[in-house]
Amino acid sequence: MSSDLSTQFIEQLEHCFDNKKAVKICGHGSKKFYGRQVDSSLETLDTKNHQGIISYQPTELVITAKSGTSISDIKTALDEKNQMLAFEPPQFNNQGSIGGMVACGLSGPSRPFAGSVRDAVLGVTCINGKAEKLVYGGQVMKNVAGYDISRLMTGSMGTLGLLLDVSIKVMPKPEHEITIVLEQNTEQALKTWHKLGNQALAISASCQLNEKLYIRLSGNNAAVKHAQSIIGGTEHEKGTQFWQQLRDHELAFFNDSRPLWRLSLAPATMILNLAGDTLTDWAGAQRWIKTDEPADIIRQLSESHGGHATLFNPIDNSIEPFHPLASGVASIHKQLKQAFDPVGILNPLRMTSNY
Amino acid sequence: MQQQPDTSGYHGDREALASALQSVLPKDAVLSQAETLKAYECDGLSAYRSTPYVVVLPETIEQVQQVLQICKRLKTPVVARGAGTGLSGGALPHKRGVLLSLAKFTRIIDVDKANRCASVEPGVRNLAISEAAKPYGLYYAPDPSSQIACSIGGNVAENSGGVHCLKYGLTVHNIQQIKMLTFDGELHTIGGSGLDAAGYDLLALMTGSEGLLGIIVEVTVKLLPRPDTVQVLLASFDDIADAGNSVANVIAEGIIPAGLELMDNAAIRAAEDFIHAGYPIDAAAVLICEIDGPYDDVNEQVKRVSKVLKSSGAKEIRVASDDAERQKMWAGRKAAFPAVGRISPDYYCMDGTIPRHQLAAVLTRITELSNEYGLRVVNVFHAGDGNLHPLILYDANIENELARTEELGEKILKACVDAGGTITGEHGVGVEKLNAMCLQFNSAELQQLHAVKYAFDPDGLLNPGKAVPSLHRCAEFGAMHVHHGEIAFPEIERF
Ligand SMILES: Cc1cc2nc3c(=O)[nH]c(=O)nc-3n(C[C@H](O)[C@H](O)[C@H](O)COP(=O)(O)OP(=O)(O)OC[C@H]3O[C@@H](n4cnc5c(N)ncnc54)[C@H](O)[C@@H]3O)c2cc1C
């Protein structure tokens, strides 16, 4: 069952452009909480029914689907051919559309080892704020014709264009996968990551939580055995479930009313001096911290380690969810927004209070 | 909103511009004498030449900032140049502009073992990064064949690839931060030390922007640990279509080799004559397949790949018995371009990329076109990525032959676009593929690209006229190329 609403969307956005009337774009709503909370009275542009896989050729390692297609439908199609979305997009509440996946740009536990959503995006068809339908990138692995608009769209939270369809690189599933657990605190884990990072091993995810270091090994039998013999540890019986729960924030750690911060930092950054609890993922490069510490402190600390901090569960706009940009970069952002959406009809104020 | 930039260049005389620039630069850093300018006339695409008005060779970011400020004040175009190995005329000078060479930015600022990254100045050679990282057991993965010469700044500006991109990705997948200057001289840090950054993905946007959006003055690249074991297979085929099809078959088996390169008979012969790599000169095509990883893993994969290649029609498969043989197998591939240079006075390298399953069909189409034009075409390319590099052999001294070569090239690119591919996989558009861009994009898409440029460079003076064709140019080009009875760019008035 597939349906195409492109024409309707173009008409709707033409109308919006002519009347300077903004819309909020919504896929499955699974990441509604993410980013700035927008004016609920805005008209909704709903992509849920713009769905269906347009093409999928396993030997090309690429799938193209309409933006409202659910991530689960994509995965079902890939499963049949023994392929996968290597960046493990989160499916909060077991939901999520492929358009929302690209617009939010969030990647799961495998990110440091298999790349991000943005790395896998090969092409998009979108409608800009002037109601023009535009195609960039394509279905091939390498393409440098024109600026990389497809990757610019990734993570832009629908503020530059409405995604109609996206082409995503997919990967063969590993033959074999196990999870091993070592009794290590964060400090020990950071040392372990440092040591392991300098060897080419079949690691596909690694995080530290509650005095335990979890490492997932993926590859053919020989590669997994090789890594296991070097790392040691004990095998986790419910490894697959553990990583899924981490990916979708279903672990007990995430069940908490405190502000949840996502810090993206230089991986070797030592333990941060912040009150609260930490789950260290991405072999050190992503830290989930539940803390009541002031935003300024968290952000300064993140910047001092070459990173940024996102308030992942904002309740209102009293704290900016996204890390403020340096003024020069912020003005380039503003000009880009102007270039794609001159009258500001696409998801206004979803990303920043500036537009 | 879009103003038509004044790209006609500096109006005053050469010496006036040189002396303005001299006021902010060291003594030997401004070139304006005809004989010194000559070395900068072209990049790796020597068919296009233009003498720059003035060349500057600054050494510090502050100096580049001052150069930009002067050029902004004098409304003078600026073209950045790394090592000048680009193959699309991206660094072709503006004849009334400043050619800004980054050749003196050769410092490796830092190799950070703990975070596995290195910060380097833009003029650092690609290979020099891996050499600097070697003592730590690390390397920088993207390896264009030009890696001994090309600069990392140029790599970022072109989003360069190499033979190992299939597994390890392109430049865009292997950098984490850049520092760049917009035309107003302001310094911006894009990206960061983590795996992502706040805001729009400007790092991706800058990668492949061909010097039109900003001047890259520092790059932080990711470093990878060296694999334990590397093995190379050389498979020969009697039929190039079988070789083409075997590429998709390997992928279908769930194997992503580190590299998968194809050479046709003409390329095999040229390389063999030059390097004596021991290639089978009677084969219609060879595939070179590299597998890397832990020892046992590599052995297992080599067996599986061999099986797939056999069943896809390979008549002989050689597995390198030691490191020396492995190097030799690669040497022929790596020297293929210069080897072709020995058999023809000139060659023209195309860069179209297509879906893998179209390889056999498009290679056949190229042979047809080659016969039609009476111009020889040699194929040696990144087959795993579907990235073709047809080399059209020609002689620039024969009247009209370059023009016919370019026409043939355009037809090849059209065949790539028609097969669901793109006009350029890694060499960029530059000046060379401006017409071909009109085949791939419509006017709204091109206008959006111009608007992106405007967002960074409202003066329109950074590498003007490159990478994205004007709508008028496409209208003129479209008038010559009416397909399916449809005029391209109907909204633009003809002249
Ligand atoms: C024999 C040969 C083999 C090649 N093989 C490959 C290959 O395998 N893969 C591949 O991808 N390419 C290949 N190339 C093409 C070329 O080497 C690459 O495009 C390379 O990245 C260009 O780097 P450069 O330093 O020479 O850049 P240049 O040619 O000097 O410049 C290229 C473009 O980048 C811009 N630029 C340069 N430096 C900067 C900067 N600091 N800031 C902003 N803009 C800048 C220039 O304005 C220009 O538009 C090959 C070329 C040759 C001659």
Q: Are residues A21 and A130 in the same domain?
A: yes
Give the end of a domain, one of A247, A274, A291: A247
**Residue in B57, B65, B81, B274 to alter for ligand 1 test, most ligand atoms within 8 A of Cβ:** B81
Q: Residue A350 falls within a domain, yes or no?
A: no
Whether B479 is covered by a domain: the verdict is no
pLDDT, average across residues B265-281: 95
Q: Do B441 and A112 touch (CB under 8 A)?
A: no
Q: What is the ipTM of this complex?
A: 0.97
Cβ contact, residue pair B201, A328, below 8 Å: no
Q: Is there a domain that residue B164 lies in?
A: yes
Inter-CA distances, B121 with B30, B115, B143, Å: 20, 18, 18
Same domain, A192 and A219: yes
Q: What is the pLDDT of residue B8?
A: 84
Q: Which residues of B touch A227 (CB under 8 A)?
A: 294
pLDDT by residue (tens digit) across B25-72? 999 999 999 999 999 999 999 989 999 999 999 999 999 999 999 999
The answer to whether B113 and B134 have CB atoms below 8 angstroms apart is no
| Residue contact A200–B299, C-beta within 8 A | no
Q: Which residues of B are less than 8 Å from A338 in CB distance?
A: 1, 455
Looking at the structure, do residues A13 and A133 belong to the same domain, yes or no? yes
Last residue of a domain, one of B440, B458, B484: B440
Residues A259 and A218 in one domain: no
A323 touches B: beta carbon within 8 Å: yes
- Same domain flag for B329 and B371: no
Determine, yes or no, domain membership for A349.
Answer: no
Contact: B199, A148; criterion CB under 8 Å: no
What digits encode the pLDDT tens for the residues A308-320? 999 999 988 899 9
Q: What is the pLDDT, as a whole number, of residue B478? A: 76
With an 8 Å Cβ cutoff, is A10 touching chain B?
no
A32 and A99 in one domain? yes
Is B143 in the same domain as B166?
A: yes
Residues B362 and B425 in one domain: yes
Q: Where are the beta strands (DSSP E) in B373-441?
A: 377-381, 390-394
Confidence of residue A1 (pLDDT cuts 50, 70, 90): low
pLDDT band with cut points at 50, 70 and 90 for residue B495: very low
Domain boundary among B101, B119, B135: B101
A111-150 residues touching B, CB cutoff 8 A? 111-112, 115-116, 118-119, 128, 132-136, 138-149
Q: Are A180 and A125 contained in the same domain?
A: no
Same domain, residue pair B261 and B274: yes
- Between the CA of B207 and the centroid of ligand 1 the distance, in Å, is 12
Q: Which tokens belong to B350?
A: 């195309």
Out of A82, A148, A223, closest to residue B293 by CB: A223
| Cβ pairs bridging A and B (under 8 Å) | 268
Residue A71 and residue A126 in one domain: yes
Structural domains counted in chain A: 3
Q: Is there a single domain that holds both residue B119 and residue B77?
A: no
Q: What is the pLDDT of residues B384-437, one digit of tens each?
A: 999 999 999 999 999 999 999 999 999 999 999 999 999 999 999 999 999 999
* Residue B179's CATH number: 3.30.465.10
Contact B297 A223 (CB under 8 A): yes
Residue A354 lies in a domain: no
Q: Do residues B123 and B51 both lie within one domain?
A: no
B395 in a domain, yes or no? yes
CATH of the domain at B395: 3.30.70.2740
Same domain, A113 and A19: yes
Q: For residue B368, what are the contacts with CB-CB under 8 A and spacing of at least 6?
A: none
Q: Average pLDDT for residues A131-146, to the nearest whole number?
A: 95
**Structure confidence at residue B484 (pLDDT):** 44
User: Within a domain: residue B55?
Assistant: yes
Q: What is residue B251's predicted lDDT score, i.e. its pLDDT?
A: 92
Please tell me the predicted confidence (pLDDT) of residue B493: 47
Give the CATH number of the domain where residue A23 resides: 3.30.465.10
Residue B483 reports pLDDT greater than 50: no
Statement: residue B82 has pLDDT above 90: yes
CA atoms within 13 A on the CB side of B441: 33
B491 touches chain A (CB under 8 A): no
* B148 lies in some domain: yes
Residues A165 and A184 in one domain: no
Q: CB–CB of B329/B291 below 8 Å?
A: no
Alpha carbon B348 to chain centroid distance? 14
Would residue B300 count as lying in a domain? Answer: yes
Is B452 part of any domain? no
For residue B175, the cross-strand partners are: B221
| Chain A contact for B292 (CB, 8 A cutoff) | yes
Cβ-based neighbours of A232, under 8 Å, separated by 6 or more: A180, A182
Interface test with A, best of B134, B201, B230, B298 (most A CBs within 10 A): B201
Q: Is residue A323 part of a domain?
A: no
Say what the pLDDT of residue A147 is: 98
Domain stops at, among A218, A247, A276: A247
Does residue B127 share a domain with residue B24?
A: no
CB A355 within 8 A of CB A325: no
- For residue B83, being part of any structural domain is answered with yes
Residues of B in contact with A105 (CB under 8 A): 196, 201
**B366 and B333 in one domain?**
no
Is A146's CB within 8 Å of B449's CB? yes
**pLDDT tens, B284-339?**
999 999 999 988 889 999 999 999 999 999 999 999 999 999 999 999 998 899 99
- Atom 19 in ligand 1: which residue has the minimum CA distance? B86
Query: Is the pLDDT confidence value at A298 over 80?
Result: yes
Q: Check whether residue A116 and residue A226 sit in a common domain.
A: no
Residue-wise pLDDT for B130-174, tens only, equals: 999 999 999 999 999 999 999 999 999 999 999 999 999 999 999
Give domain status of residue A316, yes or no.
no
* DSSP character at residue B422: B
Same domain, A157 and A51: yes
Residue at which a domain ends, from B440, B466, B490? B440
**Domain for residue A162, yes or no?**
yes
Report chain B residues whose CB lies below 8 A from the CB of A330: 199
Mutational pocket test of ligand 1: of B59, B60, B85, B107, the residue with most ligand atoms within 8 Å of the beta carbon: B85
CA dihedral over A328, A331, A337, A338, signed as positive or negative: negative
Domain of A221? 176-247
Residue A81 has pLDDT above 50, yes or no: yes
User: Ligand 1 site: residues with CB under 6 angstroms?
Assistant: B 43-44, 79-87, 90-91, 102, 122, 144-146, 150-151, 153-155, 157-158, 160-162, 210-211, 215-216, 337, 426-427, 463
Given this model, what pLDDT does residue B1 score? 36
pLDDT grade, residue A137 (50/70/90)?
very high
pLDDT at B334: 87
CA of B432 to the centre of ligand 1 (A): 14
Same domain, B112 and B60: no
- The residues, ordered by sequence, that sit 6+ positions from A265 with a Cβ below 8 Å of its Cβ are A284, A285, A286, A287, A302, A305, A306, A307, B193, B194
- Percent of chain B scoring above 70 in pLDDT: 95
A68 in B contact zone (CB under 8 Å): no
Q: Is residue A21 part of a domain?
A: yes
Q: Say whether both A218 and A187 belong to one domain.
A: yes
pLDDT at B486: 54
Whether residue B220 sits in one domain with residue B324: no
Range of the structural domain that residue B354 is part of: 344-440
Mean pLDDT of chain B: 93
State the Cα–Cα distance between residues A207 and B467, nearest whole angstrom.
Answer: 43
Segment B186-215 shows an average pLDDT of 98
> φ and ψ at B334, to 5 degrees?
-65, -30
Give the CATH number for residue A199. Answer: 3.30.70
Write down the pLDDT at residue A243. Answer: 98
3-state secondary structure at position B362: helix
Distance B426 CA to ligand 1 centre (A): 9
For residue A351, being part of any structural domain is answered with no
10 Å Cβ neighbour count for B393?
Answer: 21
Q: Domain tally for chain B?
A: 4
